[in-house]
Amino acid sequence: MLKDKNAVVTGSTSGIGLGIARALAAQGCHVVLNGFGDPDAIEQNRAALERECGVTVRYHGADLRKPTEIRDLIETATRQLGGVDILCNNAGIQHTAPIEQFPPEKWDAIIAVNLSHAFHTIHHALPQMKQRGWGRIVNTASAHGLVASANKAAYVAAKHGIVGLTKVVALETAGTGVTCNAICPGWTRTELVEPQIAARAKQLGVGIEEGARALLAEKQPSQQFVTVEQLGQLVVFLCSDAAAQITGAAIPIDGGWTAQ
């Protein structure tokens, strides 16, 4: 279905982003990975994807706080693969604190990585998508792009911003063959969530797994974590012809969290 399409997935060296990259590669997409981490582990993941899926997989270490590096990411992907057909803006960081204690530098970093980077990647990738008459942009928002939680001012603001940006891009590209949608995951057990599980376990004086169950119980009626595989398959669907008229949507995949 997506054979020989070219995809850029930000924040894809682990967690949700790596799951999205795997799902796209399994459909025959060539992929550019992006993110931080241990260089050897990144190379192992890159080589494994390339070997297992029979596609080209590259890595670009752009710091998504820096617009010049984001531009280089899109330009390098275009040069190496021949174009960018699919853009998945997934990278995100987190910090929790009451707003009066929230460090301004943390606010700036979270807005830059979780929101502004998506503007810059879209700004540079969209012209070629419109020129070809086909493109898919999928932004990873969050249940926190639809509802709020205490102590997450920057994250909630950024994710609400991602949903708004998604709608604007969808309106500006309607009828061009380009779609832009946001996925809104609930609790997904990734490196981003593990510190929150540990904090909840410490607060309750219980083990890590009991802390995880307590975190789920507070927000997610299904009492189950969303998996990275489920998120990857949702992205694949949004990139398919079946989803050609889905654009500007913010799709919850959250075990009922935002239905409450």
Looking at the structure, do residues 218 and 110 belong to the same domain, yes or no?
A: no
Tokens 């507070």 correspond to what residue? 218
Q: What percent of the chain has pLDDT over 70?
A: 100
Closest alpha carbon to 32 in 5, 60, 53: 60
The one-letter code for the residue type at 167 is K
* Of residues 192 and 15, more confidently modeled: 15
Looking at the structure, do residues 66 and 137 belong to the same domain, yes or no?
A: yes
Q: What percent of the chain has pLDDT over 90?
A: 97
User: Does the pLDDT at position 190 exceed 90?
Assistant: no
- Residue 69 is predicted with a pLDDT of 98
Residue 260 lies in a domain: no
- Residue 96 is predicted with a pLDDT of 93
Length of the chain: 260
Question: 75: helix, coil or strand?
Answer: helix
Looking at the structure, do residues 76 and 66 belong to the same domain, yes or no?
A: yes
The one-letter code for the residue type at 119 is F
Residue 1 lies in a domain: no
The one-letter code for the residue type at 10 is T
Residue 74 lies in a domain: yes
Looking at the structure, do residues 68 and 117 belong to the same domain, yes or no?
A: yes
Residue 259 lies in a domain: no
- Residue 192 is predicted with a pLDDT of 80
What range does the domain containing 35 cover? 6-186+227-254
- Residue 59 is predicted with a pLDDT of 98
Helix axes 194-204, 208-219, angle to 10 degrees: 100
Looking at the structure, do residues 234 and 113 belong to the same domain, yes or no?
A: yes
Tokens 């932004």 correspond to what residue? 139
- The residue annotated as part of the active site, out of 155, 187, 225, 257, is 155
Average pLDDT over residues 191-219: 92
Looking at the structure, do residues 71 and 104 belong to the same domain, yes or no?
A: yes
Residue 99 lies in a domain: yes
Domain count, the chain: 2
- Where does the pLDDT of residue 34 fall: very low under 50, low under 70, confident under 90, or very high at 90 and above? very high
Q: How far is C-alpha 256 from the geometric centre of its chain's CA atoms?
A: 20
CA gyration radius, the chain: 18
Looking at the structure, do residues 234 and 122 belong to the same domain, yes or no?
A: yes
- Residue 193 is predicted with a pLDDT of 87
Looking at the structure, do residues 172 and 93 belong to the same domain, yes or no?
A: yes
> In 10-129, where do the E strands start and end?
30-34, 57-60, 86-89
The structure tokens listed for 199 are 């904090």
93 Cβ contact list (under 8 Å, min separation 6): 109, 110, 113, 114, 192
Closest alpha carbon to 65 in 120, 113, 3, 104: 113
On average, the pLDDT of the chain sits at 97
Residue 127 lies in a domain: yes
- Residue 160 is predicted with a pLDDT of 98
Looking at the structure, do residues 147 and 174 belong to the same domain, yes or no?
A: yes
- Residue 112 is predicted with a pLDDT of 98
What is the rounded CA–CA span in Å between residue 69 and residue 64? 7
Looking at the structure, do residues 88 and 196 belong to the same domain, yes or no?
A: no
User: Does the pLDDT at position 257 exceed 90?
Assistant: yes
The structure tokens listed for 20 are 């999205």
Looking at the structure, do residues 60 and 182 belong to the same domain, yes or no?
A: yes
| pLDDT tens readout for residues 48-61 | 999 999 999 999 99
Catalytic residue status for 155 = yes
Question: 9: helix, coil or strand?
Answer: strand
Residue 76 lies in a domain: yes
| pLDDT tens readout for residues 138-189 | 999 999 999 999 999 999 999 999 999 999 999 999 999 999 999 999 999 9
| pLDDT tens readout for residues 65-121 | 999 999 999 999 999 999 999 999 999 999 999 999 999 999 999 999 999 999 999
Looking at the structure, do residues 51 and 170 belong to the same domain, yes or no?
A: yes
